[in-house]
């Protein structure tokens, strides 16, 4: 059966590595990711956003992930990414997920606490774990001043209070990452001091990093080379992710790097074979590109190879 993240995070915390949480929307993405994890003998989190559920339907995604489980025998957790209210979390808990995120970060602190607590109560009663979020995900210039950072980033004392009062199993925090392909205008910057403080106040507690794609230049360049237009894209450098994985960060979220690997491959394929119109001829290579990228992450960045 699908596993919880509890055991994965405990081992990751102690071992100084992180588990990759990859967003899935269709069969080729699922297969590319699990084939990589299988070759690396790595635990894995597959996550589904509200948009993914809308696109593919809940049941198709659950069945794809169940197929992946049966095919690979890997410990795989199925997680709801950025659940925005109690209802979507309940729907995923009732519908076979082993982990849900309630993202109350847009609310004020007390509303976030109350909403998260409500989800935790229902989830725990059904054997499901919960990820909360506190702070605003935003990239900042490296010369940003302290008060600007304090306004956006997660306050370590509040993080400790949030975990204590809600009973969440893991917490996403804001230290400078952001979603998508344009994370930093200038030099990439993450607030490791803040991460360190959170780690001291919440010992043995798993922290989650969202917006953690590297926006790998090889894929951006390939997209642009074959008719794409994504100038100035920049992500989180791999050495920063390695550093975070060595600290209290136990889950690293990756979607944009999957999208870029897939799109670069499809663009190249269609440009080089203009008379081809069998979808397998471009989705197959796209699946291989995803597999290669994910294998690289697991082995060289997350450090979860061989950690079954
Ligand atoms: O955090 C967002 C993930 O990349 C999912 O994106 O909402 O477009 O499916 P999505
Ligand atoms: P990226 O856009 O950096 O891949 O972040 C994905 C994410 O945080 C999903 O929740
Ligand atoms: Zn996210
Ligand atoms: Na870690």
Q: What is the DSSP letter of 155?
A: P
Task: Please indicate, yes or no, if residue 308 is contained in any of the structural domains.
Answer: no
Distance 10 CA to ligand 4 centre (A): 9
Query: pTM of the full predicted structure?
Result: 0.98
Average pLDDT rounded to a whole number, residues 272-292: 98
The closest residue, in CA terms, to atom 3 on ligand 1 is 255
Average pLDDT, the chain: 97
Q: DSSP labels for 189-213?
A: ---HHHHHHHHHHSTT--EEE-S--
Query: Tens of pLDDT along 31-76?
Result: 999 999 999 999 999 999 999 999 999 999 999 999 999 999 999 9
Q: What does the alpha-carbon distance between residue 40 and residue 63 come to, in Å, rounded to a whole number? A: 23
Give domain status of residue 307, yes or no.
no
DSSP helix/strand/coil, 154: coil
Beta strands 76-83 and 99-102 are parallel
Q: What is the total count of domains within the chain?
A: 1
pLDDT of res. 150: 85
pLDDT at site 21 = 99
Nearest atom in ligand 2 to 254's CA: 4
How many angstroms does the Cα of residue 9 sit away from the middle of ligand 1?
23
**Ligand 1 pocket mutation pick from 21, 29, 51 by most atoms within 8 angstroms of CB:** 51
Q: Quote the ligand 1 centre to 200 CA distance (angstroms).
A: 31
Longest dimension (CA), the chain: 60
Residue 287: inside a domain: yes
1, part of any domain = no
What's the pLDDT at 147?
A: 83
User: Would the pLDDT of 160 be above 90?
Assistant: yes
Please provide residue 78's backbone torsions phi and psi, each rounded to the nearest 5 degrees. -110, 120
Residue 164 has pLDDT above 80, yes or no: yes
Tens digit of each residue's pLDDT (9 = 90 or more) over 259-281: 999 999 999 999 999 999 999 99
- Specify the pLDDT at position 97: 98
- Res 180: pLDDT: 97
Q: What is the pLDDT of residue 149?
A: 85
Q: For residue 83, what pLDDT band results from cuts at 50, 70 and 90?
A: very high
Could you tell me the two tokens for 78?
């199925």
Q: 81, 155, 169, 191: which one is catalytic?
A: 81
Q: Could you tell me the pLDDT band of residue 145, with boundaries at 50, 70 and 90?
A: confident
pLDDT at residue number 151: 83
Residue 2 CA, ligand 1 centroid: distance in Å = 22
CATH number at residue 28: 3.20.20.70
- Does residue 29 contact residue 62 with C-beta atoms inside 8 Å? no
At 88, list the tokens: 């979507």
Does residue 75 lie in a domain region? yes
Q: What is the mean pLDDT of residues 188-195?
A: 96
Q: Is residue 143 predicted with pLDDT exceeding 80?
A: no
Q: For residue 208, give the nearest of 154, 139, 150, 141 by alpha carbon.
A: 154
Residues in Cβ contact with 14 at an 8 Å cutoff, skipping those fewer than 6 apart: none
For residue 121, being part of any structural domain is answered with yes
Pocket test for ligand 2, best of 256, 260, 263 (most atoms within 8 A of CB): 256
User: Does the structure's ipTM exceed the value 0.95?
Assistant: yes
Domain range for 166 is: 6-302
Q: Is 239 part of the annotated catalytic residue set? A: no
> Given the CA of residue 180, which atom of ligand 1 is nearest to it?
4
Q: How confident is the model at residue 251 (pLDDT cuts 50, 70, 90)?
A: very high
Higher-pLDDT residue of 232, 26: 26
């Amino acid at each position: 059966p699908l596993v919880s993240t509890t055991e994965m995070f405990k081992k990751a915390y102690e071992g100084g590595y992180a588990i990759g949480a990859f967003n899935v929307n269709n069969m080729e993405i699922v297969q590319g990711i699990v084939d990589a994890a299988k070759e690396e003998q790595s635990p894995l989190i597959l996550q589904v956003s509200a948009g993914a559920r809308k696109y593919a339907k809940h049941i198709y995604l659950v069945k794809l992930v169940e197929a992946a489980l049966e095919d690979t025998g890997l410990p795989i957790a199925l997680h709801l990414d950025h659940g925005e209210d109690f209802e979507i979390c309940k729907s995923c808990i009732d519908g076979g997920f082993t982990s849900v995120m309630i993202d109350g970060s847009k609310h004020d602190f007390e509303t976030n606490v109350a909403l998260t607590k409500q989800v935790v109560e229902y989830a725990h009663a059904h054997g499901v774990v919960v990820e909360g979020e506190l702070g605003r995900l935003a990239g900042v210039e490296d010369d940003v001043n302290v008060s600007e950072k304090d306004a956006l980033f997660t306050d370590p004392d509040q993080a400790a209070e949030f975990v204590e009062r809600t009973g969440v199993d893991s917490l996403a925090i804001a230290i400078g990452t952001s979603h998508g392909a344009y994370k930093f205008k200038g030099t990439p910057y993450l607030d490791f001091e803040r991460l360190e403080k959170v780690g001291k106040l919440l010992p043995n507690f798993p922290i989650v990093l969202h917006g953690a794609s590297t926006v790998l230049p090889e894929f951006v360049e390939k997209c642009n080379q074959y008719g794409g237009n994504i100038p100035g894209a920049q992500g989180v450098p791999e050495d920063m992710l390695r550093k975070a994985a060595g600290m209290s960060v136990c889950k690293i979220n990756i979607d944009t790097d999957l999208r870029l690997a897939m799109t670069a491959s499809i663009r190249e394929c269609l440009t080089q074979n203009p008379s081809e119109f069998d979808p397998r001829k471009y989705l197959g290579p796209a699946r291989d590109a995803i597999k290669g990228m994910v294998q690289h992450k697991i082995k060289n960045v997350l450090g979860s190879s061989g950690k079954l």
